[in-house]
């Protein structure tokens, strides 16, 4: 127990880049830290964690209405929400962390499609003053009251290794004794220059560690807590294509819950066909890292599982929401936390 104290374009680059370890490009400055936007709250729906919590991470590809894109209309968005909603209903998570959301409205649209809507939803607003059309924000839906739902916007960070987007952080009281600190993230994809991509991922996680350290310092003496980090990492450390990639080294002291699992059990980005130049191998980009205490108790994390639904593997050109089966290019991943009284 802790206490205070994509597309895969360009994925197959030359192994020489990692032979001696790429130089991590520098950054300066700090994220802008502030409250995330509360998209909705229904206090009468709140529940207590009890002895078991199901957590899910899901990148719902390009979940926005796309005003200037004929393939991303409101009709597409609502159809995509229905398809993703059926998948989410099947998982029946208590805490759902999400990537690639545009706005609070999209969070509400998704929640309204669910057979069992969540009690509260929050979303970030990264780079809100930059006027970019489609912002890849992070969101969370919860059946439990969350505390201090915060966004860390990387917009003010400068330098050649400046990471994209930002982070979402929040707290959940597992019981009267233990706080779960959760980070939701979406790291840089593999488009373009790989040294820069690696640097951006590494620097995002370094900034996460700095924020985490500050959070720990601010806790009252004796506070007991555990940490869970989930989302789209855009890297699979066990895949040969990423051999030697140092992106996730800032998390080396945490437990990677996919480590050692056969690839067939952990594919979150399946191979998609239809365009030969866009056929890439299956990988596990959607991941959970946890503190070691969650493998020891009293709260114990179970192994993660993938629900392999909602991706059109036959035609990579299909945009999510264009039919009644395609929700994303990612599969969702879920796990359970258990309270052991022993």
Look at residue 18 and tell me whether its pLDDT is greater than 80: no
Structural domain boundaries of the chain?
A: 2-339
User: What is the rounded average pLDDT of the residues 135-141?
Assistant: 92
Q: Could you report the per-residue pLDDT of 165-222, keeping only the tens digit for each?
A: 999 999 999 987 899 999 999 999 998 999 999 999 999 999 999 999 999 999 988 8
User: Coil, helix or strand for 306?
Assistant: strand
Residue 341: pLDDT band (50, 70, 90) is: confident
Q: Could you report the per-residue pLDDT of 26-43, keeping only the tens digit for each?
A: 999 999 999 999 999 999
Q: Could you report the per-residue pLDDT of 242-253, keeping only the tens digit for each?
A: 999 999 999 999
Distance of alpha carbon 37 from alpha carbon 40, whole angstroms: 9
Burial annotation 171-196 (CB, 10 A radius, 16+ → b, else e)? bbbbeeebbbbbbbbbbbbbeeebbb
Q: What is the CA radius of gyration of the chain?
A: 19
Q: Could you report the per-residue pLDDT of 122-133, keeping only the tens digit for each?
A: 999 998 655 555
Residue 6: pLDDT band (50, 70, 90) is: very low
- pLDDT score for 11: 36
Q: Considering only CA atoms, which of 248, 171, 242, 172 is closest in space to residue 212?
A: 171
Q: Can you give the length of the chain in residues?
A: 342
User: For the CA atoms of 212, 216, 217, 219, what is the dihedral angle to 10 degrees?
Assistant: 140
Look at residue 151 and tell me whether its pLDDT is greater than 60: yes
On the 0-12 / 13-18 / 19+ scale of CB atoms within 10 A, 285 is buried
> What architecture is the 2-339 domain classified under in CATH?
4-Layer Sandwich (3.60)
User: What is the rounded average pLDDT of the residues 91-114?
Assistant: 96
Distance of alpha carbon 10 from alpha carbon 235, whole angstroms: 13
Q: Could you report the per-residue pLDDT of 255-294, keeping only the tens digit for each?
A: 999 999 999 999 999 999 999 988 989 999 999 999 999 9
- Higher pLDDT among residues 67 and 172, named by residue: 172
Contacts of 296 (CB under 8 A, 6+ apart): 1
């Amino acid at each position: 127990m802790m206490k205070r104290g994509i597309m895969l374009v360009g994925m197959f680059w030359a192994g020489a880049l990692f032979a001696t370890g790429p130089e991590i490009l520098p950054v300066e400055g700090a994220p802008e830290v502030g409250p995330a936007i509360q998209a909705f709250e229904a206090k009468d729906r709140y529940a207590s964690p009890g002895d078991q919590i199901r957590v899910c991470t899901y990148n719902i590809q390009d979940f926005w209405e796309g005003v200037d894109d004929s393939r991303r209309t409101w009709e597409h968005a609502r159809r995509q929400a229905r398809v993703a909603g059926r998948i989410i209903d099947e998982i029946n998570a208590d805490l759902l962390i999400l990537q690639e959301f545009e706005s609070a409205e999209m969070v509400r649209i998704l929640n309204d499609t669910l057979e069992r809507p969540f009690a509260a939803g929050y979303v970030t607003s990264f780079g809100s003053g930059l006027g970019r059309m489609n912002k890849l924000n992070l969101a969370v839906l919860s059946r439990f009251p969350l505390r201090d739902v915060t966004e860390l916007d990387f917009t003010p960070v400068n330098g050649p290794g400046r990471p994209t987007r930002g982070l979402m952080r929040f707290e959940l009281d597992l019981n009267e004794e233990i706080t779960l600190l959760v980070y939701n993230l979406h790291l840089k994809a593999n488009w373009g220059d790989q040294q820069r991509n690696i640097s951006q991922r590494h620097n995002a996680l370094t900034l996460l560690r700095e924020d985490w350290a500050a959070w720990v310092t601010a806790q009252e003496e004796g506070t007991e807590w555990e940490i869970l980090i989930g989302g789209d990492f855009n890297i699979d450390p066990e895949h040969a294509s990423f051999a030697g990639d140092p992106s996730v080294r800032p998390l080396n002291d945490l437990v990677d819950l996919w480590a050692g699992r056969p690839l067939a059990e952990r594919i979150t980005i399946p191979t998609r066909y239809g365009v030969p130049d866009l056929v890439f191998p299956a990988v596990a980009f959607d991941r959970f890292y946890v503190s070691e205490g969650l493998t020891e108790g009293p709260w114990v994390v179970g192994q993660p599982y993938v629900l392999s639904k909602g991706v059109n593997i036959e035609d990579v050109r299909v945009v999510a929401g264009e039919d009644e089966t395609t929700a994303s290019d990612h599969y969702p991943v879920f796990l359970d936390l258990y309270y052991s009284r022993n």
